[in-house]
Chain A
Amino acid sequence: MKSWIIARGTALVGFALLIAAGAGASASSTGYDAAQLYNLGNAYARAGQSGLAVLSYERARLLAPTDEDIEINLRRAREAAHVSPEPRGSLELLKLPSPLGVAAVGLAGLLLVGASAIAWRRRRKRPRLLAVGAVVGAVLIASTASNAWLVWPKLHSAVVIAANAPVRAAPAPLGDALFALPEAETVDITAEHEDFVLIKTLQGRTGWLPRAAVALIVPRN
């Protein structure tokens, strides 16, 4: 009786996850489209607005992480704007083509590890098969975790959309300018104060930038 309840409960949760995943990527007339964002980035790039071009490419890449066109045009836009190249790590190899796929892989890994463990607890037969299942599940979970690790910083990153944006020591328009950020530079937002945001560059430099000079890659809903 208990096993029946557990099995159906697990199936129910899995079904709910799939529904949620489908809802997140369902067709919506008001949402985001990777192709449209990519085309928008191309338009900005051709118009010489490198900041908005990089912003659009970054947003498109969130929806299509392995799209080669997006990756190449983003790199070219950065090069054209003379901004720092994006550091690449070994985890890039674990990128999956779509966020929905990443979510599904994580879910499958979780189910595989859980099922292997329960089977081991219930019947200690075929231990090698169960061990393989658990390892595969763990790899799937690790894949999802690595994708999340790569994307997580983007949620708090922003792109400089103003030319030579002055970075000041204090969140005030009359503060001393520490340095200037070129358009299309990507920075991390670490704090906010009225019309200013505290940014941190890839090189580790920090300062206050006018809020209007940057645009968050993932806008706040």
Chain B
Amino acid sequence: MRTVLHLWLRCAVLTVCALLGGARAMADAPLTYATIEPQKIVMGQSAIMRITSLSPSMGVFTTPVVQGLDFELLGHANQMEFQNGVSFPTSSVVLRVTAQFAGIYKIPPVTPKAQPLILEVTPAPPAVVVPPPPRLSQGANRAPVLPGASAARAAGLRLTSDGSAFLRVGLPKRDVYVGESVPVDIELGLRAGFVLGVHGLPALNGAEFTLNNLSQEPQHELRKIDGNRFEVLIWHSVIAAVKPGDYSLAVETPLTVRIRTQPQQESALDDLLGDPFYQNKFGAMVKRDITVMSPATELKVLALPAAGRPVDFSGAVGDFKVTSELSNSSAAAGEPLTVRMHVTGSGNFDRVDTSMFKRLDQWRTYPPTSTFKKSDAVGYKGEKLFEQPIIASQSGHQTLPPLAFNYFDPVAKRYQTARSPALNVSISATLANSAPAASTAEARKMVNLRPNHVELAPRAQYLTPIYLRSGYLMLSSALALLLSGGMVFFGRPQDAAPTRAMKRQLTTLDSAARAGDAARFLDTAQLILHTALAARWQVRPDEVTATLLAERLGDSEVETDLRQLFAMAEQIRYSGEVPALLEFARWNKTVRTVLAERNS
């Protein structure tokens, strides 16, 4: 029993010693190893090199130097690893390795006992759409392909090699005629977070077709393809073939995308999370300009048949209807009318022209105008309106012939003619001789004009002359009123005062006449007459003397009476002799006559 116990103790001691010795040996030279994934890349991609040391710290680390390879330090990491229930602290360094040239590179070992790493870099393939390889099992050297690409391919989509985008052309038919407009839908799918920019509109990759009326603002849709979110831009357009033959049709668009370079294990996690943030976590994405191209679509372009082609066929292919109307059902000779022709339907409206108006021989016409009102996004369907001014040269009931329009019907595969009914109009002769014929602007151009003025005149705010503007008229009226008021005010001081005194003197004159008081009558009359004559002669009343009276008084009857009246007044004043029979009424009338003449 003791022997067995001793044996167990010895073994235990030896085991502990062995473990202690091994640990000491590991502490002296910690295990360090390096890995690189993937070991095969194409130009433009990167590989991730990880250097791991079974120690808490990496210690001094030296970046490998290999000609043609760039090493970029992405970061350090410390973690614990468990093996058989025992934990080991480890540290690691992550590097991005990018090749400058294609070839096989040998990366020197990180420790003398380790093996060198081999990295194989192949040239980059053309950046065109290639069918994505089927999804491989975990652990395989997986190419950068969208998970579940097989489902996308089943849906008619061809993803780019990195699964970031797709382009598709939707065509309603495969047999088309030369010049025929065929509506197309172009879908560009951009995986969320992978496409950095679209650098152009979709364009045809050949010269056999023309892409017309591409909508500048595409429709936006969000689709989930194979569990990944795609933003789909949809352009509506029409294509037209320019020559007969069998051709492939494809469109392409330049893009900038992020390309993944993440090793397989981490990509699996990224795909699982589906978020570019995780995929970009360790710098596993690089930018790259690519051109995404749609799968080629085979088209058969047929030539328009020569048999049965109308003479005035303009190249319109589609399905059209024609109606027409007149702006007025009656007009005068010389008065312009407008014929409106509506062409509705679907097809290449750019080839719908005005050849039908050439049949209006009996009418004088001017160049027609046209407007197009599309009823879809690309102008494949709509209405084209032609307006043709016409002038009747003869009066009477006139008939506009039916307007006919020839086109090729691709469904019926033959030429068709659309006709509008004839239009009747009544032309009266009212204008026939009233107005001169309308001359064109060209004919009325004048050349014999006086030259331009080079000196500019002062600018006027209004065209209406100032003397007809209300402000001027109001101010002029105000001035006229002011002057009229001035006349009244200026005239009154001189004329009003004598008038009031005169009234009193006339009252005295009347009372003296009624009383028969000749002395008072003559004295008052002399005073009144002096005042009146002074006003007439523009002198003061005291300046009216006998001498002045003798000079100024003439030989008229009134003035002779005035002399006699003044003589009687002087006789009474100086001799006191009163006339025996004084005719008061006569002398009163003479005084008032002189006053009336003065006031007038």
Contact = CB atoms under 8 A, between A and B. Distances in A.
Interface of A: 2-3, 6, 9-10, 13-14, 16-17, 20-21, 23-36, 38-39, 42, 45-50, 53, 59, 62-64, 68-69, 72-73, 76-77, 80-82, 99-100, 102-103, 106-107, 110-111, 113-115, 117-118, 121-125, 144, 147-148, 151-152, 155, 163-164, 166, 174, 176-182, 217-219, 221
A39 B453 contact: yes
A147 B468 CA distance: 10
Identify the interface centre among A14, A76, A77, A114: most chain B CB within 10 Å of its CB.
Answer: A114
Nearest to A17: B475
B471 A217 contact: no
B483 A48 contact: no
Contacts of B453: 34-35, 38-39, 69
B472 interface: yes
Given A14-B479, A16-B475, A114-B483, A26 B461 contact: yes
A53 B435 CA distance: 20
A197 B193 CA distance: 66
B449 A24 contact: no
A118 B450 contact: no
Contacts of A72: 450
Interface string B342-358: 00000000000000000
A10 B446 contact: no
Contact of A46 (B440, B446, B491): B446
B465 A99 contact: yes
B557 interface: no
Contacts of B462: 24, 31-32, 221
Given A20-B475, A38-B452, A122-B491, A28 B438 contact: no
A63 B453 CA distance: 14
Nearest to A24: B466
A177 B332 contact: yes
Contacts of A122: 490-491, 494
Nearest to B435: A180
B455 A180 contact: no
Contact of A32 (B459, B482, B490): B459
B466 A99 contact: yes
Given A20-B471, A35-B457, A6 B445 contact: no
Nearest to B453: A35
A69 B450 contact: yes
Contacts of A179: 332, 430-431, 434-435
Top-5 shortest CB links A-B: A114-B483, A48-B441, A121-B491, A99-B465, A24-B466
A117 B443 CA distance: 61
B443 A45 contact: no
Given A35-B456, A39-B452, A174-B328, A219 B467 contact: no
Contacts of A152: 468
B335 interface: yes
A38 to B, nearest CB: 6
B551 interface: no
24 contacts: A3-B490, A6-B482, A14-B479, A16-B475, A20-B475, A21-B466, A24-B460, A24-B466, A24-B472, A35-B453, A38-B452, A48-B444, A53-B446, A63-B463, A64-B457, A76-B449, A99-B460, A99-B465, A151-B465, A164-B438, A176-B428, A179-B435, A180-B332, A182-B438
B467 A28 contact: no
Contacts of B335: 164, 166, 177, 180
Nearest to B443: A48
Contacts of B449: 42, 45-46, 73, 76
Given A16-B475, A218-B463, 8 more contacts: A27-B458, A31-B459, A62-B464, A73-B450, A114-B483, A151-B465, A177-B335, A180-B431
Contacts of B490: 2-3, 6, 118, 121-122
B472 A20 contact: yes
Nearest to A40: B452
Contacts of A102: 465-467
B475 A13 contact: yes
B436 A76 contact: no
B456 A76 contact: no
B463 A180 contact: no
Contacts of A39: 452-453
A99 B482 contact: no
B468 A20 contact: no
B454 to A, nearest CB: 8
Nearest to A36: B456
A141 to B, nearest CB: 9
Given A9-B482, A13-B478, A25-B466, A63 B460 contact: yes
Contacts of A177: 331-332, 335, 430-431
Interface string B537-555: 0100000000000000000
Contacts of A80: 444, 446
A111 B494 CA distance: 23
A108 to B, nearest CB: 11
B460 A117 contact: no
A28 B459 contact: yes
A81 B450 contact: no
Contacts of B413: none
B118 interface: no
Given A118-B487, A122-B490, A103 B467 contact: yes
B486 A164 contact: no
Nearest to B479: A13
B448 interface: yes
A32 B463 contact: yes
B489 interface: yes
Contacts of B401: none
A30 B461 CA distance: 7
A215 B520 CA distance: 83
Given A46-B447, A69-B453, A103-B466, A25 B485 contact: no
B456 to A, nearest CB: 5
A148 B467 contact: yes
Contacts of A62: 463-465
A24 B521 CA distance: 67
A34 B454 CA distance: 11
Contact of A217 (B440, B447, B463, B489): B463
B24 to A, nearest CB: 100
Contact of B442 (A48, A107, A155): A48
Given A26-B461, A218-B463, A163 B438 contact: yes
Interface in B523-548: 538
A28 B457 CA distance: 11
Contacts of B436: 82, 182
A50 B463 CA distance: 21
